[in-house]
Chain A
Amino acid sequence: MSESENNTRELAFRRLLRAQFGVEGEPEAPLPDDGPLVAREHHKALAKALQAAGWRLYVTCAATHFPAVPGKKPTDATTPECFEVATVLRSVGPGTHVARWRVKLAADETIDSLVRVFVGADWQEREQFDLVGVIFAGHPDLRRLMMPEDWVGHPLRRDYAIDTPHAPWR
């Protein structure tokens, strides 16, 4: 019973992504294991659509930093710095289904905040802003959550040294 419900939801999720949010592939073909990539202008609309369709529990979002990678030879082009924001939603009750998708961002791009869709996104997005440094556009209260207000830098970036000193305490 719950298995079949999970399958129904998975198919609905695939159809929704393919029909309206520009994910490539046949409407009901399996999504990539890493989660589908969604363009950043679709991000908020997708969350709204999923909320309306029954994915009502905000689970998490995870921002990741990919630093610039120089080419192997000096003549090769450098892969530019970028970010990736993954969002996870859940439907409630028996046969709960996890909907997750990723948004790729260039270093200077922002992503729409989901606070007005799910208030639970408030702290998660503040935390990701604090630790990774992704700007969530439209977030009403984008302050640091974990680190002190006067902290410099975003610790969870890959190029941030783990043992950064902080006088006079460490």
Chain B
Amino acid sequence: MTPVALARAPWPDPYLNVDDYDPEADLMVINLGPQHPSTHGVFRVVLYLDGEIIIKAIPHPGYLHRGVEKLCEKLTYAQITPIVDKNDYVAPMLNEQAVNMAFEKMLGVEVPLRARYMRTILAEIQRVASHLLWLGTFAMDLGGALGGGTSVFMYCFRERESILNLFEDLTGCRFHYNTHTVGGQRHDIPAGWAAKVHQTLEAISQRIPEYETMLEHPIFVRRTKGVGVIDADLALELGLTGPLLRASGVDHDLRRDAPYHIYDQLKDLAVAVESEGDCMARYKVRVKELRESIRIARMLIDNVPEGPISGGRPIKQPGQFKAKGGQVYVGIETPRGELGTYLIAGGGKMGDTPYRLKIRPPSLHALACVPYVFPGHSLSDAVAILGSLDPIMGEVDR
């Protein structure tokens, strides 16, 4: 493959000079965000329109920059878990797992088998909740607050509440769980939880076909099919991961390709891949993942082995873990793609805090494709595309 120049056909040119554009055209500048119901948070994008068609889009993230990485440099390894919960606030479990796996790799802590089973189950249930929230908000983006989309939103949130109830039984919190620690889990599975998981996930899996019939009508298909196409080359170069990459026809899933937790024991993990790369493909990939996650969680919940849930002693003091120094990178597959943690440990006196913690958010790369994907679409399609990218501004800006 040849190295790619910046503005390469057939991708739209993100550096289009608006002054050079057709002088006869009646251009308009529209500012979308940072406070806009369909930007999923505080994302701002300046759109240059020729009539209804976008010719250039300039994104401006950073309205939720909370300095998490700076804060983590001041905290010990055991204190960081509740901080990173707030990054990707739709899938906090996965955030906790990502940083804790990096810490465990750095500190050389073994995670017992029961904790690894629990982590896999929690990750899959969290993936269901995250995709449900995405499905609801995406339907609302397309249908409008008073259109048909609101009913799907209501149903999806109903199912999501039942999952939050499961997590509340386990950890005591609806979200921001703080249930992972370095070396294992904080909360053990309560009695009767497995039956509840079965019941909840069974109910959800029975209702997914209902949502599909609600959504896959001609209007939905017209608004998503062929809209926002990202080809495989562009997706790879932009660093898109997760459902966005798989919807562009690249068969890549860290759960199967670089297994962690107990994913290496799941030989039949099905990876959903679509080749079209449009909004419809991204919708299909996520719905398939929804079903697969439900299947995995239900399969594993009956086979959780007995044993300790934490590798180390219970944490009495935060400064218990000391690193000798070094650098590690760990990436895991979240509902939005590869969530990476690049950790540079402080050695010596600073052994109990990270020297630098860089979080690689999948949503940042998802939003970086906006200048390449928006041009050529109408303003209403822009909302559909943005919804299908599933960005979470908390982890984009951190």
- Find out whether A and B make contact in their complex, taking CB atoms under 8 A apart as touching: yes
Chain A interface residues (CB < 8 Å from chain B): 2, 33-35, 48, 51-52, 56-60, 62, 64, 86, 88, 90, 92-96, 98, 100, 102, 115-120, 122-124, 127, 131, 140-141, 144-148, 155-156, 158, 160, 162
Query: Chain B binding site: helix, strand, loop or mixed by DSSP?
Result: mixed
**Do A2 and B257 touch across chains, with their CB atoms under 8 A apart?**
yes
Q: B196 at the A/B interface (Cβ < 8 Å)?
A: no
**Do A33 and B256 touch across chains, with their CB atoms under 8 A apart?**
no
Which of the listed residues A90, A92, A140, A144 has the most CB atoms from chain B within 10 Å of its own CB?
A90
Chain A nearest CB, measured from B79 CB (Å): 15
Which residues 1-57 of B sit at the A interface, judged by CB distance below 8 A?
1, 3-6, 15
Beyond A59-B239, A96-B258, A140-B15, 6 additional pairs, beta carbon < 8 A? A93-B250, A93-B257, A120-B237, A122-B368, A123-B364, A124-B364
What 1/0 flags go to B232-258 for Cβ under 8 Å of A? Answer: 001011111100000000111010111
**Do B252 and A64 touch across chains, with their CB atoms under 8 A apart?**
no
**Cα separation A49 to B319 with both chains bound (whole Å):** 43
Smallest CB-CB A-B distances: 8 pairs: A120-B239, A62-B358, A60-B360, A146-B62, A146-B65, A58-B239, A120-B238, A96-B257
* Contact segment of B114-122, B148-156, B171-179, B337-345: B337-345
**Do A62 and B256 touch across chains, with their CB atoms under 8 A apart?**
no
**Do B358 and A145 touch across chains, with their CB atoms under 8 A apart?**
no
**Cα separation A116 to B328 with both chains bound (whole Å):** 27
**Do A95 and B340 touch across chains, with their CB atoms under 8 A apart?**
no
B252 surroundings in chain A (CB, below 8 A): 57, 92-93, 96
Chain B nearest CB, measured from A123 CB (Å): 5
**Do B340 and A117 touch across chains, with their CB atoms under 8 A apart?**
no
Chain B nearest CB, measured from A41 CB (Å): 18
Which of the listed residues B237, B256, B340 has the most CB atoms from chain A within 10 Å of its own CB?
B237
**Do A95 and B257 touch across chains, with their CB atoms under 8 A apart?**
yes
**Cα separation A35 to B328 with both chains bound (whole Å):** 8
Interface size class of B (residues with CB under 8 A): 35 or more
* Contact segment of B67-75, B95-103, B376-384: B67-75
**Do B239 and A52 touch across chains, with their CB atoms under 8 A apart?**
no
Q: B165 at the A/B interface (Cβ < 8 Å)?
A: no
A117 surroundings in chain B (CB, below 8 A): 3-4
Q: Of all chain B residues, which has the CB nearest A6?
A: B258
Q: B89 at the A/B interface (Cβ < 8 Å)?
A: no
B73 surroundings in chain A (CB, below 8 A): 158
Q: B365 at the A/B interface (Cβ < 8 Å)?
A: yes
B254 surroundings in chain A (CB, below 8 A): 96
Q: Of all chain B residues, which has the CB nearest A98?
A: B329
Total A-B Cβ pairs within 8 A: 127
Q: B331 at the A/B interface (Cβ < 8 Å)?
A: yes
Given A56-B1, A92-B236: A162 and B368 interface contact (C-beta under 8 Å) = no
B238 surroundings in chain A (CB, below 8 A): 58, 118-120
**Do A140 and B6 touch across chains, with their CB atoms under 8 A apart?**
yes
Chain B nearest CB, measured from A115 CB (Å): 7
Chain A nearest CB, measured from B330 CB (Å): 9
Q: B326 at the A/B interface (Cβ < 8 Å)?
A: yes
**Do B6 and A116 touch across chains, with their CB atoms under 8 A apart?**
yes
**Do A64 and B239 touch across chains, with their CB atoms under 8 A apart?**
no
**Cα separation A155 to B329 with both chains bound (whole Å):** 23
**Cα separation A35 to B343 with both chains bound (whole Å):** 12
Chain A nearest CB, measured from B13 CB (Å): 12
**Which single member of B70, B234, B356, B365 contacts A62 (CB below 8 Å)?**
B356
**Cα separation A60 to B343 with both chains bound (whole Å):** 12
**Which single member of B241, B251, B329, B364 contacts A88 (CB below 8 Å)?**
B329
**Do B1 and A52 touch across chains, with their CB atoms under 8 A apart?**
yes
Q: B162 at the A/B interface (Cβ < 8 Å)?
A: no
**Cα separation A90 to B397 with both chains bound (whole Å):** 23
Q: B134 at the A/B interface (Cβ < 8 Å)?
A: no
**Do A35 and B327 touch across chains, with their CB atoms under 8 A apart?**
yes
Which residues 207-251 of B sit at the A interface, judged by CB distance below 8 A?
234, 236-241, 250-251
**Do A88 and B340 touch across chains, with their CB atoms under 8 A apart?**
yes
**Cα separation A156 to B68 with both chains bound (whole Å):** 10
Q: B82 at the A/B interface (Cβ < 8 Å)?
A: no
**Do A118 and B239 touch across chains, with their CB atoms under 8 A apart?**
yes
Q: B167 at the A/B interface (Cβ < 8 Å)?
A: no
**Which single member of B70, B344, B368 contacts A155 (CB below 8 Å)?**
B70
Q: B112 at the A/B interface (Cβ < 8 Å)?
A: no
**Cα separation A42 to B120 with both chains bound (whole Å):** 40
B338 surroundings in chain A (CB, below 8 A): 59, 90
**Which single member of B6, B70, B256, B364 contacts A162 (CB below 8 Å)?**
B70
**Do A162 and B67 touch across chains, with their CB atoms under 8 A apart?**
yes
**Cα separation A35 to B342 with both chains bound (whole Å):** 12
**Do B326 and A33 touch across chains, with their CB atoms under 8 A apart?**
yes
Given A93-B257, A120-B238, A162-B70: A51 and B1 interface contact (C-beta under 8 Å) = yes
B61 surroundings in chain A (CB, below 8 A): 123, 145-146
**Do B62 and A86 touch across chains, with their CB atoms under 8 A apart?**
no
Which residues 356-389 of B sit at the A interface, judged by CB distance below 8 A?
356, 358, 360, 364-365, 367-368, 372
Q: B77 at the A/B interface (Cβ < 8 Å)?
A: no
